[in-house]
Structure 1
Amino acid sequence: MNANSERYVVGVDFGTLSGRAVVVRVSDGAELGTAVHEYAHRVIEDRLPGTGARLGPDWALQSPDDWREVLRHAVPQAVAQAGISPSQVVGIGTDFTACTVLPATADGAPLCELPEFAGRPHAWPKLWKHHAAQPHADRINALAAERGEAWLPRYGGKISSEWQFAKALQVLEEDPEVYGRTERWIEAADWIVWQLTGVETRNTCTAGYKGIHQDGAYPSDDFLAGLNPALAGFTGKLGRELAPLGGLAGRLTAEAAEWTKLPEGIAVAVGNVDAHVTAAAADAVRPGRMVAIMGTSTCHVMSSETLAEVPGMCGVVRDGIVPGLWGYEAGQSGVGDIFGWFVETCVPGSYEREAERLGRSVHEHLTELAAAQRPGEHGLVALDWHNGNRSVLVDHDLSAVIVGQTLATRPEHTYRALIEATAFGARVIVETFEAAGVPVEEFVAAGGLLKNRFLMQVYADVLRRPISVIGSEQGPALGSAIHAAVAAGAYPDITAAAAAMGKRTEAAYTPDAGRAAVYDRLYAEYRRLHDHFGRGEHPHDSPAGAPAGNDVLRRLRALRNEVTA
């Protein structure tokens, strides 16, 4: 085929710290150009830009203009690197972290960009890892359980503080003026598509997983009024019509064409979530394939033909990953972030100097030292709850635990224990799914942590199963590009497009029987600690016959919040 007759699509992945664009050939999924744009404001956790207004504990915000800058810079740069004519691009697709949600006016203007609200923290977009709404999530869960709300089991019995309703209730009760001015409460995944097309759409993925939309409806006004009378009517801010994944959201406007340097009028795909869209990039949208997108956090997604109630899952949504199947989601709210925290705060200067002498990063140096140990040699077990627990406990008031430290404990021992802890957390999720009747036939890994081969082998040994790996370093962006190809009409559906454009290597890592046997013993200790500290003094949260636990982690978090308020 003549190169000039080839068609291309652009995928844009909006992450936690940056946005990435990739140019992909429609015929075979080849990635020809990529560019990254770092957010100027990164994660806003301490003070608001400009005004300096202080934020409270567990806050995490972002700036909408950082997202626009990705369109202005990363997209044109990726197209230029690909060496193609912009006229050959037929579509663009986007994905976002979720639940990253913002209050806006009826025409889509973010409230934080209005002068009168620039200094009000609740007017800014709340990033997925904004966990300050945990008390509000607790109230939602308690009332839903008391009333027997039919949607609650679809979320494993608990909704998260990260999601739309908990964050909205926090805004209402802490800044009712901002809540009253909010005409649209919208996921960033849908807001960015609005900026590209001039048309407001809401996608089935974020509505189902983060907006409690089940069986064609949101929670009732009667339920919402039971939380706060002023919350009744909130769903009117969410939009009503949901757009299918892979669908055409609209066409690129003249203004967005100027930002991206792409042709006006090309197809813009319906918005999506970074984790869910990655399943297409790995050609893992068929039932039984669990995709773990491993980065700062890990999200586990898989499709199934059957509906089941999986304790502690983030949600099960019809058409949530691909139309026609039930899409399941679970996750770990801290993985790469945990390793980053350890390197930044717990590693002595002598290790940094030695890593520099060897021409390695500190992470690489610690990984090399950790890999030299035998499983169990460090005598440690850790709980990977530095950023709370998403699945299966769904409690962001939990915190980390490391057991077994002595004066002989070295940084590489703790580093290895933290890697193992995240693998144990993944095993809890897999076992919980299978116990609920949702078999995991293949475990597929994606995300930035694939670069650490030692870590991936630990996961294979802990999980006692082969691990397949995605064939791209740009999983979410490639997945968004695949959705753009469907929206542009190049393929009939996501499954067909994923088969042609997605890629993965099956059984790239296989478990070692000897190491796995030791990890079984360590995992048993992890599960004891998991239930003791995680289920605490709440018998209804614990498995039948389990001994009472301890709520010390929650009490410590409450004391910290009280002192720092």
Structure 2
Amino acid sequence: MDYFVGVDVGTGSARAALVSSKGKIVKMTMCPLEIFHPAPNFYEQSSDNIWSAVCHVVKTVVADISADNVKGIGFDATCSLVAIDKTGSPVTVSPTGEDKQNVILWMDHRAQEEADFINAQGHEMLQYVGGRVSLEMQTPKMLWLKKNLPSSWNRAVLLFDLPDFLTWKATDSESRSLCSLVCKWNYSADPDGNNKWNEEFFDQIQLRDLKKDNWRKIGNDVRTPGDPVDQGLSAKAASELGLQKGTAVGTSLIDAHAGGLGMIGCSIPGIFPNLQSRLALICGTSTCHMIVNEKKLFVSGVWGPYFSAMVPGLWLSEGGQSATGKLLDHIIDTHPATPGILKSLSGNKHIQQYLSELLQTMTDQKALKDVSYLTKDIHVWPDFHGNRSPLADPTLKGMISGLSLSVDQENLALLYLATVQALTYGTRYILETLEAAGHRIDTLLICGGLSQNPLFIQIQADVLGLPVLCPVEKESVLIGAAILGSYAAGKFNTIYDAIQTMGGSANVIKPKNECYKYHLQKYRVFRRMVQDQKDYREIMSEEFL
């Protein structure tokens, strides 16, 4: 039997899955990763630590089968920046000077000044990132590195997006993925094949030295996701991973995009699988909102359109929220009632499940028709880590209206519910912005950690008035990575065939119309809150000394 391995390197862990050609996960495991936080807004990792974790998880999932049966492997990872020297060793990106710390994590916000400088230039390339480059993208981070750590900048012979670092370690190929480059590196790609680095743009943002050696430092061999990488696994990598030399390796994807690829083809009777009308939410620490279209649609505050960045031949638009799972954890972890609840939990019950059950009890006690009505007087603006879409303003802060002196578990449950609702209103704001630009959305797809939270899923359906599909195979990101390996191995004639075959089936959650009007009213408050924050900022910007 043929198998494929999908590898996913997330923010806090590396995971691998052994996947059948039908898209069924046979075995899965994970290994935690180190994260360094040397200063406010600085988040770093170690590529040595990451590769070691990848080797561990892959060896584990293939341990019980013959390596001959593994025909291909695909990698996805966070869009983090990796610096490597001429010997293939790490180069520090850290103010600590430690070479071990050679990865600027995606969520690192050190490059605000550099992002502001790039945006002030107003180059036409910025229209492909919603009008403003994010400080989470790689051009601001490279400019920061050049300005603040010139020795590291000069020592670094190769700068990789983390997914491309993984295929380099696996194959020794310096090729790059079109996904990473167009989405995070301001690379230009279009249907006529005129794919290139825009010299004028890099001159303008003071990174003209990247043109040296035909752009080798950031990549001159660019491939479509899933395309085979050279001759497959090198002998060294094969030994480290427990696989055969020459095993096919697919060109990589960013982790969220792998999730989109893994679930966009999932099917359910009665719902037509039109790829272009499906908004995919990949939920983890943050959430990415992805939709593809045959047309080149520019959307204010939304990244893209990126040609062939996820599905070949289609333009990808990518919205997002910088803190979702992370925000829910923050609300729970910082509340005085949490330690007592955790002590009372038995078995494997998650605190979010406990809070959802408590909310239902409170709803029954108050004789309300729906749990959402509990938060009539509590409202949250959820941008505790800035706004990615559609406002593209990393300086925005979180807001809560309706606080009291209560610190009991019922108070925590209400704050938790109001935050879940606020995250969903954020998705509504993104969806409205996409549709105003020409997208048409009739279905929501959700994968990732929050897809296993029934309260979150139902509120998404209720607020948006759309059916939500949750793939039966929960780990869509790993499925997406395995699809890359299957296509590279020649298992499918086209990547579309792989998407349809390995995407599997889904469960559908339909909207309850009962509280739709209530959510519209709360959404009006939601939109008012951010305007209020801007008004406060304007008031406080006036001279007071």
TM-score, with length taken from structure 2: 0.89
Is 1:24 the equivalent of 2:19?
A: yes
Specify the alignment match of 1:77 in structure 2.
60
Cα distance in 1 for residues equivalent to 2:209 and 2:100:
16
Cα distance in 2 for residues equivalent to 1:415 and 1:217:
46
- Structure 2 contact 46–101 (Cα < 8 Å) conserved: no
What is the identity, as a one-letter code, of the residue corresponding to 1:36? M
Cα distance in 1 for residues equivalent to 2:315 and 2:185:
16
What is the identity, as a one-letter code, of the residue corresponding to 1:551? R
What is the identity, as a one-letter code, of the residue corresponding to 1:401? M
Specify the alignment match of 1:276 in structure 2.
257
Specify the alignment match of 2:487 in structure 1.
486
What are the within-5 Å matches in structure 2 for residues 403-482 of structure 1? 403-408=401-406, 410-482=411-483
Matching residue within 105, 121, 137 for 1:163:
137
Of the structure 1 ranges 248-257 and 284-293, higher mean CA displacement relative to structure 2 is found in 284-293
What are the within-5 Å matches in structure 2 for residues 283-432 of structure 1? 283-284=264-265, 286-348=275-337, 351-352=340-341, 355-356=344-345, 360-371=349-360, 372-373=362-363, 374-378=371-375, 379-408=377-406, 410-432=411-433
What are the within-5 Å matches in structure 2 for residues 176-191 of structure 1? 176-191=150-165
**Cα distance change on mapping 1:227 and 1:72 into 2, 3 Å:** closer
How far does the alpha carbon of each residue in 1:349-387 deviate from its partner, in whole angstroms, 9 at most, with x for none?
564256436974333222222344432433111111112
Question: How big is the shift at 1:106?
Answer: 4.1
Specify the alignment match of 2:271 in structure 1.
none
Of the structure 1 ranges 406-415 and 452-461, higher mean CA displacement relative to structure 2 is found in 406-415
Cα distance in 2 for residues equivalent to 1:494 and 1:230:
36
Matching residue within 99, 103, 120 for 1:125:
103
Matching residue within 79, 83, 101 for 2:81:
101
Matching residue within 32, 44, 50 for 2:36:
44
Question: How big is the shift at 1:109?
Answer: 2.7
- Structure 1 contact 221–232 (Cα < 8 Å) conserved: no
Is 1:152 the equivalent of 2:126?
A: yes
Is 1:252 the equivalent of 2:246?
A: no
SS in structure 2 at match of 1:346:
coil
- Structure 1 contact 202–243 (Cα < 8 Å) conserved: yes
- Structure 1 contact 122–171 (Cα < 8 Å) conserved: no
Matching residue within 69, 77, 100 for 1:88:
69
What is the identity, as a one-letter code, of the residue corresponding to 1:437? G
Specify the alignment match of 1:52 in structure 2.
none
Matching residue within 9, 16, 27 for 1:14:
9
Cα distance in 1 for residues equivalent to 2:519 and 2:210:
50
How far does the alpha carbon of each residue in 1:417-468 deviate from its partner, in whole angstroms, 9 at most, with x for none?
1111111111111111001101123210111111111111111111111111
**Cα distance change on mapping 1:290 and 1:357 into 2, 3 Å:** closer
Is 1:520 the equivalent of 2:520?
A: yes
Question: How big is the shift at 1:23?
Answer: 0.7
Question: How big is the shift at 1:158?
Answer: 0.9
Output the aligned Cα RMSD: 2.5
What is the identity, as a one-letter code, of the residue corresponding to 2:160? I
Cα distance in 1 for residues equivalent to 2:164 and 2:137:
15
- Structure 1 contact 202–242 (Cα < 8 Å) conserved: yes
Is 1:64 the equivalent of 2:50?
A: no
Cα distance in 1 for residues equivalent to 2:352 and 2:336:
10
Specify the alignment match of 1:543 in structure 2.
none
Cα distance in 2 for residues equivalent to 1:460 and 1:394:
25
How far does the alpha carbon of each residue in 1:21-74 deviate from its partner, in whole angstroms, 9 at most, with x for none?
111112x122111111112x1x211xxxxxxxxx22111111112221223211
**Cα distance change on mapping 1:421 and 1:187 into 2, 3 Å:** same
**Cα distance change on mapping 1:10 and 1:531 into 2, 3 Å:** same
Identity of aligned residues (%): 28
SS in structure 2 at match of 1:112:
coil
What is the identity, as a one-letter code, of the residue corresponding to 1:403? S
**Cα distance change on mapping 1:232 and 1:21 into 2, 3 Å:** closer
What is the identity, as a one-letter code, of the residue corresponding to 1:384? P
- Structure 2 contact 280–446 (Cα < 8 Å) conserved: yes
What is the identity, as a one-letter code, of the residue corresponding to 2:58? V
Cα distance in 1 for residues equivalent to 2:207 and 2:483:
43
- Structure 2 contact 252–484 (Cα < 8 Å) conserved: no
Of the structure 1 ranges 489-498 and 343-352, higher mean CA displacement relative to structure 2 is found in 343-352
How far does the alpha carbon of each residue in 1:82-115 deviate from its partner, in whole angstroms, 9 at most, with x for none?
x4221111111010011x01121245432139xx
Which runs of 5 or more structure 2 residues have no equivalent in the other structure? 266-273, 364-370
Question: How big is the shift at 1:514?
Answer: 1.7
What is the identity, as a one-letter code, of the residue corresponding to 1:78? V
**Cα distance change on mapping 1:117 and 1:330 into 2, 3 Å:** closer
Cα distance in 1 for residues equivalent to 2:263 and 2:539:
38
SS in structure 1 at match of 2:501:
helix
Specify the alignment match of 2:269 in structure 1.
none
What is the identity, as a one-letter code, of the residue corresponding to 1:207? L
SS in structure 2 at match of 1:343:
helix
SS in structure 2 at match of 1:9:
strand
